[in-house]
Structure 1
Amino acid sequence: MIILDTNVVSEITKANLSPNVGEWFEQQDIESLYLCSPILMELSYGAEKVLLRDRSERFFEGLGYLMEHQFAGRILQFDQDSALLTGRIRARRERFGHQISVQDAMIAAVCLAHGATLATRNIKDFQGLDIRLVNPFEDGHA
């Protein structure tokens, strides 16, 4: 199970996506790829910004397609266990001087709660959290 971070979802919806991401995505079993509700929150935020700026609903339409078709049945929810893990992650990171955004802590918690790998460009934001990470943007996808 691989949860796609917002930056990966944004990339795979582009017409001119990164060759590395395109190759990585093609190699995956689509049924093993998931989204989670904090990712939907971030995508909705971006779509609303575009709507307010350009009066364009194109990103909301794309988000609807992702939820209803491409990832239907494969969206993990931020639940009670994830909420408790989020608090622990944030407190532990702060104690060691490593800040983490609430959104990233939520995503990390969902990954931990489900034993999922996180596909993200922002590897350093999630290091040290006992989450398997993959960067589809890099050669070799390390």
Structure 2
Amino acid sequence: MSFLLDTNVVSEIRKKAPNPGVAAWFEAVPASELFLSVLVVGEIRQGIERLARRDSTQAEVYERWLGQLVDVYGDRIVPVTADVAEAWGRISVPDAVPVVDGLLAATALVHGWTLVTRNVGDVASTGARLLNPFTTVDKT
């Protein structure tokens, strides 16, 4: 089984004291089964740019982390394809879903992956398999 990681999960694991459920889940899953969307890379970049306006030293720390993340995930960073965009359009009606969360759910659906996120409520209506490692409850 493969997993698509949301930004909140990726960010949690880099903390000095991550949530125990998230840490245990990461330890148990082979790295080869973990994928990132380009949207997660973009959200992290956006956070770095915001941080740089008030703390350039800390922004440099996150800059290095993002570089390492991109290197480690490499070809396991997936694009938003036309199929993903169409799936997103379908799952966004009749209930609107936040755009990035919806595109992540659509990516998981298209690839047959489980979306790993803390924001299960935002994408519960999409039909994607969901896992919230913060509570260790599988929402499939």
Deviations 1:90-116 (A, max 9, x none): 2x1xx2xx3321111111111111111
In the alignment, does 2:138 pair up with 1:136?
no
**Count of aligned pairs:** 135
In the alignment, the residues of structure 1 paired with residue 35 and residue 63 of structure 2 have an alpha-carbon distance, to the nearest angstrom, of 19
Q: Which moved more, 1:80-89 or 1:7-16?
A: 80-89
Which residue matches 1:74?
76
Unaligned runs of 5+ in 1: none
In the alignment, the residues of structure 2 paired with residue 101 and residue 57 of structure 1 have an alpha-carbon distance, to the nearest angstrom, of 29
Give the secondary-structure state (helix, strand or coil) at the position aligned to 2:36: strand
Give the secondary-structure state (helix, strand or coil) at the position aligned to 2:43: helix
Unaligned runs of 5+ in 2: none
Give the secondary-structure state (helix, strand or coil) at the position aligned to 2:88: helix
In the alignment, the residues of structure 2 paired with residue 128 and residue 99 of structure 1 have an alpha-carbon distance, to the nearest angstrom, of 9
Trace 1:3-42 onto structure 2 (pairs within 5 A): 3-42=4-43
Trace 1:121-132 onto structure 2 (pairs within 5 A): 121-132=118-129
Q: CA deviation at 1:128?
A: 2.0
Q: Which runs of 4+ in 1 moved over 3 A?
A: none
Percent identity over paired residues: 38
Give the secondary-structure state (helix, strand or coil) at the position aligned to 1:78: coil
